[in-house]
């Protein structure tokens, strides 16, 4: 008994020690580790302390009210038009079309509207479908330390949900054509947004939803966010959440150590939005149904029925846990 206690004590101490090697997250244990190496939107590595107090003063001034909404269409695929929540003229004077589907994209921690995931997914959508794309820029809060940004995600999501309700009520649209896409913390934000609308989006896609501080968080993305919620897991247990939380959950390459990433958690985490952008353009990723999470985490092939991972098809439906194998470089 004393030996087991000592082993457990040493493990806890190790998980809370400051890691000496930059970018080495081998010490990380979800729920107990204090420090985690994370990479910001400009590729700078930062050691985040998950036990620091939340900056409540900052949250009072940086929250969902600071969200910006950038509209892209085939008429303006690279230069956004700013839609201002509550300003009907900002919609009427834009290229927004009530007759076209609406895609809403939300970045993660330390990101912005200019993040590569937004340009990559926006161009994939517009090259493949004639749609309205709204990129949500919540950098005012996302630039804070991780624990403060994570705490503010429910506010970010609430404002996104209210914005989309206002947009459709003001300028028209059809909830059968609304699709939310969120990466990392942004995946949890679109989960909140979908629930705020009353589960009205026809589809919600979570791209490696953030794991730290979210595994037991009631605000995390779940199936109440939309009529079909699909989740892609690419760095489980470190940057990304481990457990299945959607109607359909995909674990490409066993959900971790993505090919070509050399063991980098940030690379594996970011691979989720790269795989998704590729899937919108090609729709070539085919998953096989697994008997459960353990089988998906231990196999990159399962024996069950097939379901394509990703894509932008609004009528897509499915359920269960899926495994598949991808390649190391674009289009994967």
208 has catalytic annotation: yes
319 has catalytic annotation: no
- Angle, helices 116-128 vs 265-282, to 10°: value is 10
Torsion of CA 231, 43, 117, 283, to 10 degrees: -60
Interatomic CA distance for residues 138 and 58, integer angstroms: 14
Instruction: Select from 314, 309, 269, 310 the least CA-distant residue to 289.
Output: 309
Instruction: Select from 153, 203, 159 the least CA-distant residue to 180.
Output: 203
Pairing of strands 203-207, 178-183: parallel
Interatomic CA distance for residues 187 and 128, integer angstroms: 23
Measured in degrees and rounded to the nearest 5, phi and psi for residue 110 equal 65, 15
DSSP 258: -
What's the distance, Cα to Cα, between the start and end of the chain in Å? 49
3-state secondary structure of 29: coil
| Whether the Cβ atoms of residue 263 and residue 331 lie closer than 8 Å to each other | no
The catalytic residue among 90, 115, 155, 184 is: 184
The catalytic residue among 179, 188, 269, 273 is: 269
318 preceded by a cis bond (ω within 30 of 0): no
| Whether the Cβ atoms of residue 325 and residue 251 lie closer than 8 Å to each other | no
With b for 16 or more beta-carbon neighbours within 10 A and e for fewer, the 63-80 pattern comes to bbebbbbbbbbbeeeeeb
The catalytic residue among 27, 94, 188, 208 is: 208
Sequence-distant (≥ 6) Cβ neighbours of residue 8 within 8 angstroms: none
Catalytic residue IDs: 184, 208, 269
């Amino acid at each position: 008994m004393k030996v087991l206690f000592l082993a457990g004590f040493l493990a806890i101490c190790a998980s809370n020690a400051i890691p000496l090697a930059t970018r080495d997250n081998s010490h990380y244990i979800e729920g107990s580790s204090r420090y985690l190496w994370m990479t910001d939107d400009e590729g700078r590595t930062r050691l985040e302390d998950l036990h620091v107090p939340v900056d409540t003063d900052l949250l009072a001034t940086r929250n969902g009210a600071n969200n910006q909404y950038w509209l892209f269409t085939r008429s303006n695929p690279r230069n956004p038009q700013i839609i201002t929540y509550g300003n009907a003229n900002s919609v009427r004077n834009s290229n927004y079309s009530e007759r076209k589907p609406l895609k809403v994209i939300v970045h993660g921690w330390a990101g912005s509207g200019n993040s590569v995931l937004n340009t990559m997914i926006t161009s994939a959508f517009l090259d493949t479908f004639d749609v309205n794309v709204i990129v949500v820029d919540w950098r005012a809060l996302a630039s804070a330390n991780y624990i403060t940004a994570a705490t503010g995600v429910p506010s970010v999501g609430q404002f996104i949900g209210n914005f989309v309700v206002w947009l459709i009520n003001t300028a028209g649209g059809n909830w059968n054509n609304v699709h939310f896409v969120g990466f990392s913390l942004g995946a949890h934000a679109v989960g909140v947004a979908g629930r705020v609308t009353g589960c009205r989006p026809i589809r919600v896609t979570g791209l490696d939803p953030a794991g730290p501080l979210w595994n037991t968080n009631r605000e995390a993305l779940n199936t109440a966010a939309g009529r079909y919620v699909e989740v892609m897991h690419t760095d489980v247990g470190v940057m990304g959440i481990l457990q299945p939380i959607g109607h359909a959950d995909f674990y490409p390459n066993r959900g971790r150590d993505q090919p070509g990433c050399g063991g980098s958690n940030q690379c594996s985490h970011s691979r989720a939005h790269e795989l998704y952008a590729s899937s919108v353009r090609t729709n070539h990723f085919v998953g096989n149904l697994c008997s459960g999470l353990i089988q998906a985490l231990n196999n990159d092939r399962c024996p069950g029925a097939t379901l394509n991972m990703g894509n932008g098809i609004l009528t897509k439906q499915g359920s269960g846990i899926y495994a598949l194998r991808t390649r190391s470089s674009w289009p994967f």
